[in-house]
């Protein structure tokens, strides 16, 4: 139980807690809507055909009462509204357990535009494959898709990270020895037909699953042949005549049960060797993080209090505790796994010279400390956890003369060349180069998740809006327009609204800048399952930090 110094501190805690609970409630309401995919009518239509929905298929396939972390639930949020939206990007997936083995599971949601691929669908599917490749864990595709969404074909078809990259990855994963299992549980057409057949083994559901390069309508238009889809590419055709598929299932449940049986027989390979002991819970209630995390981005808090509610037994061995205090580094365990934690400190702290330092800002000494700590973790094969609440690097003549660019580059280099698994949690602010230095999406974290309080942007909203206002007002004045105070306020309000909309965690998650938005109390689960997945890849390269200026 947290102890308060006075009534004011207790009141602040309760206000923070209420604000966080409201944000979590908002997140859960959004997710409840997303879970319906294309809506209840389309779910009913799927059931009328004797088919399960994407989420029902995943729930049936994975071990009952086991953990499942969904990746990209909020993908597509607020996007493609002119086409009716694309909940979860039209595909559901994540990491779960099948017969006790961690697998990536990917299921097309046929209730969303018949499972058609929007541009963000392609990006999300590539993310699933990336996770399987990084961690060398099996990937299971539950295919039910009408193929590329034709009105946007130019944004999904030809480029390096578009639709074709999926099949390239199929081939690469096969060469890497990563098991791929595909089940054709509905439509599978055109180029999409290559995905299941480039997998190691493929199953098809009788009467509902079809696979072909061109459907019956296109066949008639192209060569004049009259044939129905079932005869053209149904289960009987491909299991008895063409030999394209390996197993014929009578229905969805039979198909998923067969996948379980196949996974159950897969052999085991070496481990990376990340250290794990028997797990213990934090001494402090994890839900107290709700009250510790300020509802205002301007207010300080002590990140040690967050760490104490994330790590086993609340034990944290701090590195260089008295130096570079705006970044906190140290060793701990999360669900038994050894981790190195790098966390921004938003509390106002004194430097070694006795000067007050702004919370959430990276100074020369904190950048230097974090870089050294990251290199130590790589030497010791300890996974890294970044807790982001950063407004950027310190600016001004004093920092520039002290070489902040050099020290920042040192930290960015250490993060970039790190070979141990990295996991990033955006708790609050994630601005500018601070996002990079604290292992933002561009720096290959195995997972990057955000709390409902997360905000990802090139700079804070107030600063950005004022900067954009100056630019826009100057442009209007150059055209001879008179800008009254009322007009200036109108412009500022419009800019601020647009900028704030673009910095919400949902905007970031919809574009896969974040893998998920999570309840803070689920942070331990994400990190633990992430390290467990990473431990399947025994091929950990030797750490080479490159050229780092000192």
- For residue 411, is pLDDT > 90? yes
Give the best-scoring range by mean pLDDT among 61-75, 160-174, 180-194, 345-359: 61-75
Identify which has the larger pLDDT, 215 or 266. 266
Residue 461's pLDDT band (cuts 50, 70, 90): low
- For residue 456, is pLDDT > 70? yes
- Number of neighbouring beta carbons within 10 Å of residue 306: 25
Mean pLDDT of all residues in 245-265? 97
- For residue 457, is pLDDT > 90? no
The b/e string for 92-101 (b: 16+ C-beta within 10 A; e otherwise) is bbbbbbbbeb
Q: Over the chain, what is the mean pLDDT?
A: 93
The b/e string for 455-473 (b: 16+ C-beta within 10 A; e otherwise) is bbbebbbebbbeebbeebb
d(CA 168, CA 125): 13
d(CA 293, CA 273): 34
d(CA 307, CA 304): 5
- Supply the pLDDT for residue 467: 75
User: Alpha-carbon torsion 412, 416, 421, 424, what sign?
Assistant: positive
Phi first, then psi, for residue 165 (nearest 5°) are -65, -25
Apex CA 415: angle with CA 411 and CA 417, to 5°? 115
**Runs of H (alpha helix) within 418-522:** 432-437, 461-478, 485-502, 505-510
Per-residue tokens: 2? 């947290």
Report DSSP letters for 137-170, one per residue. --EEEEEEE--B-GGGGGGTSSSTTSTHHHHHHH
Exposed, middle or buried: residue 300 (CB in 10 Å: 0-12, 13-18, 19+)?
Answer: middle
Per-residue tokens: 527? 């990190």
Separation of CA 504 from chain center? 15
- Supply the pLDDT for residue 545: 82
- Supply the pLDDT for residue 471: 83
In sequence order, what are the residues at sequence separation of 6 or more whose Cβ sits closer than 8 angstroms to the Cβ of residue 32?
none
- Supply the pLDDT for residue 163: 84
Q: 493-500: long-range contacts (C-beta < 8 A, 24 or more apart)?
A: 495/465, 495/468, 495/469, 496/461, 496/462, 496/465, 499/457, 499/461, 499/464, 499/465, 499/468, 500/461
- For residue 169, is pLDDT > 90? yes
User: Alpha-carbon torsion 34, 39, 40, 45, what sign?
Assistant: negative
Identify which has the larger pLDDT, 487 or 86. 86
- Supply the pLDDT for residue 460: 67
The b/e string for 379-406 (b: 16+ C-beta within 10 A; e otherwise) is eeebbbbbbbbbbbbbeeeebeeeebee
pLDDT in tens, 6-58: 999 999 999 999 999 999 999 999 999 999 999 999 999 999 999 999 999 99
- For residue 427, is pLDDT > 70? yes
pLDDT in tens, 327-347: 999 999 999 999 999 999 998
d(CA 425, CA 445): 10
pLDDT in tens, 501-539: 888 999 999 999 999 999 999 999 999 999 999 999 999
Phi first, then psi, for residue 462 (nearest 5°) are -65, -45
- For residue 549, is pLDDT > 70? no
- Supply the pLDDT for residue 486: 81
| Prediction pTM value | 0.93
Per DSSP bridges, beta strands 356-357 and 349-350 are antiparallel
- Supply the pLDDT for residue 498: 80
| CA-closest candidate to residue 118, choices 144, 83, 142 | 83
Residue 158's pLDDT band (cuts 50, 70, 90): confident
| CA-closest candidate to residue 360, choices 430, 295, 296 | 430
Identify which has the larger pLDDT, 161 or 60. 60
Residue 483's pLDDT band (cuts 50, 70, 90): confident
Mean pLDDT of all residues in 242-246? 95
d(CA 307, CA 296): 20
pLDDT in tens, 342-374: 999 998 887 777 777 888 899 999 999 999 999
């Amino acid at each position: 139980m947290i102890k308060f110094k006075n009534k004011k501190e207790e009141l602040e805690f309760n206000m923070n807690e209420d604000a966080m609970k409201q944000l979590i409630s908002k997140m859960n309401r959004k997710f409840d809507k997303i879970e319906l995919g294309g809506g209840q009518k389309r779910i009913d239509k799927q059931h009328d055909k004797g088919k399960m929905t994407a989420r029902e298929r995943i729930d049936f396939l994975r071990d009952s009462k086991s953990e499942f972390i969904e990746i990209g639930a909020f993908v597509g949020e607020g996007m493609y509204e002119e086409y009716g939206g694309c909940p979860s990007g039209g595909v559901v997936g994540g990491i779960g357990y099948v017969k006790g083995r961690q697998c990536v599971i990917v299921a097309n949601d046929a209730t969303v535009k018949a499972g058609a691929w929007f541009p963000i669908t392609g990006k999300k599917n590539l993310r699933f494959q990336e996770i399987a490749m990084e961690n060398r864990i099996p990937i299971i595709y539950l295919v039910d898709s009408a193929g590329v969404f034709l009105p946007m074909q130019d944004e999904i078809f030809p480029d390096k990270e578009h639709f074709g990259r999926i099949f390239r990855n199929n081939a690469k994963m096969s060469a890497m020895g990563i098991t791929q299992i595909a089940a054709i549980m509905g439509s599978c057409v055109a180029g999409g037909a290559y995905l299941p057949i480039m997998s190691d083994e493929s199953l098809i559901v009788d009467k509902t699953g079809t696979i072909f390069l061109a459907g019956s309508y296109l066949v008639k238009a192209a060569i004049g042949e009259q044939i129905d889809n079932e005869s053209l590419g149904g289960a009987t055709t491909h299991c008895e005549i063409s030999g394209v598929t390996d197993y014929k299932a009578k229905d969805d449940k039979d198909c998923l049960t067969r996948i379980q049986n196949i996974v159950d027989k897969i052999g085991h390979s070496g481990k990376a060797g990340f250290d794990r002991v028997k797990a213990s819970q934090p001494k402090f209630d994890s839900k107290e993080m709700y009250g510790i995390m300020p509802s205002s981005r301007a207010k300080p808090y002590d990140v040690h209090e967050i760490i104490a509610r994330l790590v086993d037994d609340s034990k944290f061995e701090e590195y260089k505790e008295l130096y570079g205090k705006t970044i906190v580094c140290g060793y701990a365990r999360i669900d038994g796994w050894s981790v190195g934690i790098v966390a921004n400190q938003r509390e106002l702290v004194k430097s070694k010279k006795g000067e007050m330092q702004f919370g959430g800002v990276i100074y020369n000494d904190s950048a230097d400390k974090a870089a050294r700590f990251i290199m130590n973790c790589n030497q010791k094969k300890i996974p890294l956890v970044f807790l982001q609440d950063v407004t950027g690097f310190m600016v001004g003549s004093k920092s520039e003369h002290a070489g902040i660019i050099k020290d920042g580059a040192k930290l960015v280099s250490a993060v970039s060349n790190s070979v141990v698994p990295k996991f990033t949690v955006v708790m609050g602010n994630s601005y500018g180069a601070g996002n990079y230095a604290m292992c933002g999406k561009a720096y290959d974290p195995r997972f990057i998740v955000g709390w409902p309080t997360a905000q990802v942007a090139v700079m804070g909203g107030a600063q950005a809006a004022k900067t954009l206002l100056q630019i826009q007002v100057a442009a209007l004045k150059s055209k001879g327009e008179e800008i009254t105070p009322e007009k200036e306020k109108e412009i500022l309000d419009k800019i601020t609204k647009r900028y704030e909309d673009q910095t919400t965690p949902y905007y970031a998650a919809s574009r896969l800048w974040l893998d998920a938005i999570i309840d803070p109390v689920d942070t331990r689960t994400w990190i633990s399952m992430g390290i467990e997945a990473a431990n399947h890849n025994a091929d950990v390269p030797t750490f080479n930090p490159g050229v780092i200026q000192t």
